[in-house]
């Protein structure tokens, strides 16, 4: 059975790149009827952030990427938090030490710093010189008894080719001479990522390791560990880097990189997941809109690109609008109610029928739920000011007079439809030798306070006859008397 894992470190927010890694693991597992595991790699205690684990779980579930096994879902491979597996790593470190595949290193930091500075000056690749590998068993025992601080290092063989297959990149080859004798166990007794990752992947029977390109250079060290333990090596797939539009690496210095940031801005989870899924993968056609189930059916690791993917926020915005328009109308109604509760209109009461009319008028014009409110406040309150640029461009010397004539037409009616609003305007313009536009633009300004939005007659019929008449009167007074503030 296919078993894959997403193994984040609880060091803060969930990066967009982390969401993509989780998504690709999830998609592959579901496509192959396999198991998707969440493992918490919290051995770097210096970078541990309180509450980060809960945030990771909450964010993944918000995105719809619920895991099959994890810290609260034991599938028989618990614990799923590395800080609770220290005895397991100690046992495997002793196995490596006993087989001379790893060794104690007692070097002080001053020596290591001096060594690397000297190597750099000579133009050599800085790496450990195996100094402590030459220690005798007696020297090692004395150091341990004297409680001299130590780390445990991987004993990398000399001049050995290390070849492995990567689904994304094909055959990859390294020479062991470029590898450092990586620290496997730190002086605090905690394993490094390299040891814990390999041990856990083996014991949790991970079949495919799907992770970011930044781990590609570490994979030869992991291959050595698999060989030293005489374990089966999983299949690797290293995902391409994510870049900003200027081709720099995606980072917080350039803009938002946390999933939480996009969630707070109002992006739909369906749109964000759809967008992230396309950052490095394509089904081989021009399709860009995906629901999660569609993406599961279409996904394959073989279609993941090795070239870097550019984060295009304009495409994300387009996808958000597309997913918003596909939402069931009753879902949109509930979402609008939530936005109203967060707005300055939270004390006002609007009927569902009224809100549904607003959604129908605004849906083609918005990309985010909050824009139902932020770009159309006139549906929820009388404008307290009128756009100055629109006044200069659209409010003519006869605008007030034409609006008064229009007011006379509609005041004669008891109720009114969109068509009647429009017919009354055409008759008013015709009777006063004016163009329709001479009245349409001032009417829009009077009703909404702005120069754009849905059709003016759509706005009018949503507001209702009494409100339209009231707003026309207020606008004529304020704009004609220069009271616009």
The CA distance from 94 to 98, in Å, is 6
Is pTM, for the whole model, over 0.75?
A: yes
Q: How far is CA 252 from CA 46, 243, 255, 258, in A?
A: 21, 12, 5, 8
Place of tokens 């299949």: 235
The CA distance from 408 to 402, in Å, is 10
Per-residue pLDDT tens digits for 32-42: 999 999 999 99
- Annotated catalytic residue within 73, 100, 249, 252: 252
The CA distance from 7 to 42, in Å, is 9
The answer to whether residue 485 scores a pLDDT higher than 70 is no
Q: Which residues contact 455 (CB under 8 A, 6 or more apart)?
A: 361
Residue from 358, 290, 294, 360 nearest 325 by CA: 360
Q: Which CATH class is domain 85-239?
A: alpha beta
Per-residue pLDDT tens digits for 351-393: 999 999 999 999 999 999 999 999 999 999 999 999 999 999 9
Per-residue pLDDT tens digits for 61-85: 999 999 999 999 999 999 999 999 9
pLDDT given for residue 430 in this prediction: 97
Residue from 32, 58, 27, 23 nearest 309 by CA: 23
252 given a catalytic annotation = yes
The CA distance from 482 to 472, in Å, is 15
How many residues does the structure list for the chain?
A: 485
Per-residue pLDDT tens digits for 150-176: 999 999 999 999 999 999 999 999 999
pLDDT given for residue 484 in this prediction: 76
Q: Which CATH class is domain 382-485?
A: mainly alpha
- What mean pLDDT, rounded, does the chain reach? 95
Residue from 13, 38, 19, 46 nearest 275 by CA: 19
Helices (H), 51-132: 52-62, 86-98, 109-121
- For residue 70, how many other CB atoms are within 10 A of its CB? 21
pLDDT above 70 covers a percentage of the chain that reads 99
pLDDT given for residue 254 in this prediction: 59
Residue from 259, 281, 272 nearest 324 by CA: 272
pLDDT given for residue 302 in this prediction: 97
- Listed by start position, the domains of the chain span 85-239, 259-325, 327-379, 382-485
The answer to whether residue 482 scores a pLDDT higher than 60 is yes
Per-residue pLDDT tens digits for 6-35: 999 998 899 999 999 999 999 999 999 999
Average pLDDT over residues 213-221: 96
Q: Which CATH class is domain 259-325?
A: mainly alpha
Q: What order of strands is seen across the sheet that includes strand 235-239? A: 170-175, 161-166, 235-239, 208-212
């Amino acid at each position: 059975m296919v078993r894959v894992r997403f193994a984040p470190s609880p060091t803060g927010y969930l990066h967009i790149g982390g969401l993509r890694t989780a998504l690709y693991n999830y998609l592959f597992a579901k496509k192959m009827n396999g198991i998707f595991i969440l493992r918490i790699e919290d051995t770097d205690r210096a970078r541990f952030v309180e509450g980060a684990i809960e945030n990771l779980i909450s964010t993944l579930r918000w995105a719809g990427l619920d895991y099959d096994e994890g810290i609260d879902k034991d599938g028989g491979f618990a614990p799923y938090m590395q800080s609770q597996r220290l005895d397991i790593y100690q046992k495997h470190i002793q196995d490596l030490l006993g087989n001379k595949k790893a060794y104690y290193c007692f070097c002080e930091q001053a020596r290591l710093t001096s060594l690397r500075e000297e190597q750099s000056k000579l133009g050599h690749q800085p790496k450990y010189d195996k100094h402590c590998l030459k220690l005798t068993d007696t020297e090692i025992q004395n150091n341990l008894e004297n409680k001299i601080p130590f780390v445990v290092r991987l004993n990398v063989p000399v001049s050995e080719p290390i070849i492995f297959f990567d689904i994304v990149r094909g055959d990859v080859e390294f020479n062991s001479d470029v590898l450092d004798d990586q620290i496997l166990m730190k002086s605090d007794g905690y394993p490094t990522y390299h040891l814990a990752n390999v041990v856990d992947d083996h014991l949790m029977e991970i079949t495919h390791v799907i992770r970011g390109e930044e781990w590609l250079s570490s994979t030869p060290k992991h291959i050595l560990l698999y060989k030293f333990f005489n374990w089966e090596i999983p299949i690797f797939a290293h995902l391409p880097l994510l870049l900003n539009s200027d081709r720099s690496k995606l980072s917080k210095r350039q803009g938002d990189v946390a999933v939480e940031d996009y969630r707070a801005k109002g992006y739909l989870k369906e749109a964000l997941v759809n967008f992230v899924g396309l950052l490095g993968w394509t089904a081989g056609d021009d399709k860009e809109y995906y629901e999660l189930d569609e993406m599961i059916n279409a996904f394959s690791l073989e279609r993941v690109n090795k070239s870097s993917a550019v984060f295009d926020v304009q495409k994300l915005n387009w996808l958000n609008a597309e997913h918003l328009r596909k939402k069931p109308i009753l879902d949109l109604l509930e979402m609008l109610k939530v936005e109203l509760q967060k707005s300055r209109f939270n004390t006002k009461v609007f009927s569902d029928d009224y809100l549904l009319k607003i959604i129908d008028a605004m849906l083609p014009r918005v990309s985010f739920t909050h824009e139902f409110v932020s770009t159309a406040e006139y549906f929820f309150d009388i404008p307290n000011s009128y756009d100055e640029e629109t006044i200069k461009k659209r409010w003519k010397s006869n605008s007030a007079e034409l609006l008064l004539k229009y007011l006379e037409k509609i005041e004669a009616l008891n109720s009114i439809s969109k068509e009647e609003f429009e017919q009354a305007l055409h008759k008013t313009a015709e009777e006063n030798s004016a163009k329709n536009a001479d009245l349409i633009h001032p009417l829009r300004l009077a009703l909404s306070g702005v120069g754009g939005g849905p059709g003016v007659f759509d706005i009018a019929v949503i507001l209702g006859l009494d409100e339209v008449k009231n707003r026309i009167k207020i606008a004529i007074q304020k704009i004609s008397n220069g009271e616009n503030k």
